[in-house]
Amino acid sequence: MSKLAQLKSRMEQLNALHAATAIMDWDQQTYMPKGGASARAQHLGILSQLAHETFTDDSTGELLEGAKAEIEPGSNDAAIVRNVKRDFDLSRKIPSDLVGEKSRLSSEAHESWVHARATNDFASFAPTLERMFEIARQEAEYLGYTDHIYDALLDMYEEGATAADCTRMFDVLKANTVSLVKDIAENGKPVDDRVLYGDWEVEKQRRFTEKLIREIGFDMDRGRQDTAPHPFCTGWSVGDIRLTTRFKDYLGSAIFGSLHEAGHGMYEQGSPMEWDRTPLAGGVSLGVHESQSRTWENIVGRSKAFWKRYLPSLRSEFLALQAYDVDQFYRMINKVEPSLIRVEADEVTYNLHVLVRFEIECDVLTKKLDVRDLPAAWNAKYKEYLGVDVPNDSQGCLQDVHWSMGSIGYFPTYSMGNLLSYQFWACLRRDLGDTDALIEKGEFAPILGWLRENIYSKGKKYPPKELVMQVTGKPMGAEDYVTALNAKYREIYHLS
Ligand code: ZN
């Protein structure tokens, strides 16, 4: 058997182990009874360790070396070897004692963070957080970088992305969004969306959201939607992709949560079936993945055309909405409000929340900012960029789970997703013409078809930066996003 064939067979075994852990994790978040928790943690721990040991074994490195000599440049096999090599290098560069230390600190830090957030006590969390940042610094040194320490960390989540890319993107965002948000707050015609908060029947929400995701093109023969406290998308085969949603007081929670996760899901379902269970199937990076959830949630799902089609059926399910027309509903679901909490932020202010986190991460990593002074820096930036006063650290720098898990360098991928969604969409519109007319008629197939052909069917064959160049002819930038958002929200808020 050739080295390449052996490498592929090893990856198939690992894929089966990952599938098992993914199914167990999905079950844990959806249906598992409380009593299953302790056994599930044990099972997951053992399977994950087995997968990690198999993958990082010296023999994987030998197979990789051998396979390299057997592949044709540019072929699918070359892409498989490239992907496996990248993951192998990432997992081998960091010494196992540092991996162990991080994993121990993570569980300790998680508890400390939960407690600090509940009691609004940043000082008790600060020493743990400082150690977490120190581990991140060490990780970055082992991984290596040329320009900025941040590059090494960000690359783990978004291959090839750098702090300079982020700075470039945030400079454009800062220059445009901060002033738009200010203009909306000071001169915009106010939006009252109180009617969207109520006691909505769960069964009706379930039916309605399933109808939406089926009609936009999520294939229910190759996936399903269930409920979980935090919406997510997972999967273990191109033929089996799982979405979750949640039903809350805010009617938009389920609707936009479902559309968001269906966007992730359709990306996963769009990989070629012959790549199933290989390292080529699935989304290429966090940023590109998020661009697809945002496309269906925001660009399609928060458009007026979409609700010209669906508001009548929503109104017939939920009588409280009967007095509202499409224009009113469209304004309500696009309400912009500078707020404290990132996960509740609207499309316009969202990236400013990310900007705060990016700048703080850079400053702490480079020791420009001491962890003890983090809350003050956080609050000052919220005031400057969003115009809001942070009343306490629980609603401020303690709100996100990421740092306690050691996920430092992760946040910018959310903004990359927002930017890329509009950058891809600008190209899609050039090719398809009047997308509003298609959406209003419920003709989603040409839209999904375009995304499949240009993005989904490429799976992980090309690195994300290369994919963006191929599809849009330029590197990731904020221009399309800024143009689209200004046009949309100046109209909604009656600004000149
Ligand atoms: Zn997402």
Structural domain contains residue 154: no
Same domain, 293 and 366: yes
CB environment 111-142: b (16+ within 10 A), e (fewer) = ebbeebbeeebbeebbebbebbbebbbebbee
- Distance from the alpha carbon of residue 157 to the mean position of ligand 1, in angstroms: 14
Task: Please give the pLDDT value at position 496.
Answer: 81
How far is it, in rounded angstroms, from Cα 18 to Cα 11?
10
- Distance from the alpha carbon of residue 260 to the mean position of ligand 1, in angstroms: 6
Task: Please give the pLDDT value at position 344.
Answer: 86
Task: Please give the pLDDT value at position 57.
Answer: 95
Please report, in angstroms and rounded to a whole number, the separation of the first and last CA atoms in the chain.
69
What CATH number should be reported for the domain holding residue 377?
1.10.1370.30
How many domains is the chain partitioned into structurally?
Answer: 2
Chunked into runs of 10 residues, the chain (496 residues) has average pLDDT values of 97 97 94 92 89 94 97 97 96 90 88 94 96 97 96 96 96 93 94 96 97 98 95 96 96 96 98 98 97 98 98 96 97 95 92 97 98 98 95 96 94 97 98 98 98 98 98 96 96 93
How far is it, in rounded angstroms, from Cα 335 to Cα 192?
8
How far is it, in rounded angstroms, from Cα 341 to Cα 173?
19
Q: Are 299 and 306 in contact (CB under 8 A)?
A: no
Two structure tokens written together for 291: 């661009």
- Distance from the alpha carbon of residue 261 to the mean position of ligand 1, in angstroms: 6
Same domain, 120 and 167: no
Instruction: Transcribe 19-71 into DSSP letters.
Output: HHHHHHHHHHHHT--GGGHHHHHHHHHHHHHHHHHHHHSHHHHHHHHHHHTTP
Two structure tokens written together for 447: 């839209």
pLDDT tens-digit series, residues 172-222: 999 999 999 999 999 999 999 999 999 999 999 999 999 999 999 999 999
Task: Please give the pLDDT value at position 104.
Answer: 87
How far is it, in rounded angstroms, from Cα 447 to Cα 489?
23
In the structure, ligand 1 is a single-atom ion and the residues with CB under 5 Å from it are 293
Rg (CA), the chain: 23
Task: Please give the pLDDT value at position 41.
Answer: 86
- Distance from the alpha carbon of residue 75 to the mean position of ligand 1, in angstroms: 30
Structural domain contains residue 157: no
Same domain, 126 and 184: no
- Distance from the alpha carbon of residue 290 to the mean position of ligand 1, in angstroms: 5
Same domain, 290 and 339: yes
Same domain, 273 and 307: yes
Structural domain contains residue 264: yes
Q: Which of the residues are catalytic?
A: 261
Same domain, 139 and 168: no
pLDDT tens-digit series, residues 250-281: 999 999 999 999 999 999 999 999 999 999 99
Same domain, 94 and 177: no
